[in-house]
Each structure stands twice: as C-alpha cells, then as structure tokens.
Structure 1
Amino acid sequence: MRIDKYLWCIRLFKTRNLATEACKKGHVKINDLNVKPSKEIFGSEAIIIRKNQINYKIKVLDIPTNRVGAKLVDLYRKDLTPKEEFEKTELLKFAKDYYRKKGTGRPTKKDRRDIEDYHDSTEEDV
C-alpha cells in the first residue's frame, strides 16, 4: 500500500491529498529517509510524521484494506511518540502569550526595553 494512502487509512490525515502534500514537503520519513507519496509501505517499518509541530513516531503493525474506524486504528499501528513531543506544544502556547495581541500597534520604547531585558535575563540563565 502507498504511504499516503496508509496515513489516510489510519486517520493521521483527514484527506488523502493532505497526506500526499505532507510527503511531498518532506514531513514523512520511513527509517529516517524522506519518502515520496507513492512509496510502498510494509509491516514493521518505523514512520516519523511531522504534523502540527509534533514528530509522531509510528510503527506499522499491519496494512488495512480500506480506511478504518477510529476504534480499530490501533490494530494497524503502534504509537511510539514520546511524551516530550506533546509537552513542547504546551511550551509553545506559553511562548505565544508573550507576544502582543493583534491590532495593538507597534511596541513602545518601554515595551522594547522590557523585551531586551527579558532576553538578556534568559541568556544569563543558560
């Protein structure tokens, strides 16, 4: 089965076109090698998928014949994604709170000085 179809069948992507685009952009790797959407997938291969700034690690257990229901997905793949990957998204949420809200205009001199002081203090901690 093609890798793009497999990713769609196990519900990692909502459409097959999205799975194909992810392969073309280099977000899908099999055994640490970028793959084309037409690459044939076999059992017991390790797949790394970069989606929403998370590197999902999946091991192929079996090949489905068609798209499977959400409850049956675990029969065809084993999720090996470490918890640290999901914790990174939590840190990104906190980082986004630091930035100014949309529509508040350019930073003032005081804002700029506060930002520089913050960056200087984080560099000293490292």
Structure 2
Amino acid sequence: MASDEGIPRIDSWIWSVRLTKTRSAAATACRGGHVRVNGERVKPAHGVRVGDEVRLRHAGRERIVVVTRLVRKRVGAPVAAECFVDNSPPPPPREEVPVIAHRDRGAGRPTKRDRREIEQLRGR
C-alpha cells in the first residue's frame, strides 16, 4: 500500500509531524500495537491519507489526530502543527513538586530556628 509514490508510510508521517522523536520509535510503536489508523492496528509500512484518524499511545498518553496534510520529510514545529488536527484529551495536570529543604555544605549544624523551619517545610 505504501509503495504508491504519493502515500507516505505511517511511521514516517508520525515522525515527520513530530509526534515521536525518531522514526525508529514510530516504527516500534506501530509494531507494538500502539498506533491505530481509523480504529485498526497498523504496521509501520501502512499508508496514511488525508482524513485518517491516527491514535498513538506514547509516553503514557494517547494522542488522537486527524490527518490534514501529508508530508514525507520532517518539518518544523509550526508546519507540523498544520498537518493534523489534534483531538487528544488534555494531559493530566502536573503534580506540584514539594519544596525540598536545602542547606549549603559547610554551613555547620542547624540552629534550633533552622531546625524548626526545616521541620515546617517537611510538614511535621
């Protein structure tokens, strides 16, 4: 199917529009069953057409995109954003990183006041 000149391979298209960092990662995702085109699992050589819905599970998140433009070579981020419509659910909110008490090396033993501040930061 992908031997047609005008139809790019799905692994190449996923890499070209920057959904994965490398083409080999895109091909591995296809082989592992993490890529679906119009609801069907596909191999890396499957052809992609305008209007296809591509679902990609990558980095613990599912991306759902509709193909609007075919590209064969990797393009810049602004151009890549024009090649698909992103219908993905919003990513889960990031958890806040707690503040870690830090003392400079060689600062000596903490004073009673320093110790109380450290304990308060730790929530004790």
**What is the TM-score when the length of structure 2 is the normalising length?**
0.67
Aligned to 1:30: 37
> Per-residue CA shift, 1:41-70, capped at 9, x if unaligned?
000110100011111000000101321101
**Larger RCO (alpha carbons 8 Å, 6+ apart):** 2
Aligned to 1:59: 66
Provide the identity percentage.
30
Structure with a larger share of its residues in helix = 1
- Which structure's CA Rg is the greater one? 2
Q: Secondary structure at the match of 2:55?
A: strand
Task: Kindly provide the amino acid, as one letter, of the partner of residue 5 in structure 1.
Answer: S
Q: Aligned partners of 2:79 and 2:67: how far apart in 1?
A: 14
The structural deviation recorded for 1:19 is 0.5
Total equivalences in the alignment: 90
- Does the Cα contact within 8 Å between 2:36 and 2:56 map onto a contact in 1? yes
Q: Secondary structure at the match of 1:73?
A: helix
CA RMSD of aligned residues (A): 1.7
The structural deviation recorded for 1:82 is 1.5
Unaligned runs of 5+ in 1: 95-126
- Say if 2:51 is the partner of 1:44: yes
- Say if 2:39 is the partner of 1:19: no
Aligned to 1:80: 87
Which of 9, 14, 17 aligns to 1:10? It is 17
Q: Secondary structure at the match of 2:69?
A: coil
Structure 1 segments of 4+ aligned residues over 3 angstroms from their partners = none
**What is the TM-score when the length of structure 1 is the normalising length?**
0.66
